[in-house]
Amino acid sequence: MKTVYRISVDKGRCVLCRYCEVVCSVALKGEFDPDASVIKEIKLEGSLDAISCSPPEGCRGAPQCVKACDVRALTYAEEGVGD
């Protein structure tokens, strides 16, 4: 069985502050730059609808972005899929 790692956003809680992206960029690349994070925005009809992230190996278990989110909009999950 393969393990898939995901970070999901609760759109009802997210305030679009992008702090998760800043924390991600610092944790993974040592840069204070939200555009350098591995979190990607999914835009629908011209506005931010959700974020997408498949956490790299360094984030597995305790992603800094999830810990840093003050409104608790992010969740981390490990899921077994397939054979």
Model-level pTM greater than 0.85?
A: no
83 — pLDDT class (breaks 50, 70, 90): low
User: What is the domain partition of the chain in residue ranges?
Assistant: 2-81
Scored b (16 or more CB within 10 A) or e, 45-54 reads eeeeeebebe
pLDDT score for 52: 63
Residue 59 has what DSSP assignment?
A: G
pLDDT in tens, 52-74: 676 777 777 778 999 999 999 88
What is the architecture, at CATH level 2, of domain 2-81?
A: 2-Layer Sandwich (3.30)
Structure tokens at 78: 């490990």
**Which of 51, 49, 50 has the alpha carbon at shortest distance from 37?**
51
pLDDT in tens, 34-43: 888 888 765 5
Q: Is the CB of residue 66 less than 8 Å from the CB of residue 59?
A: no
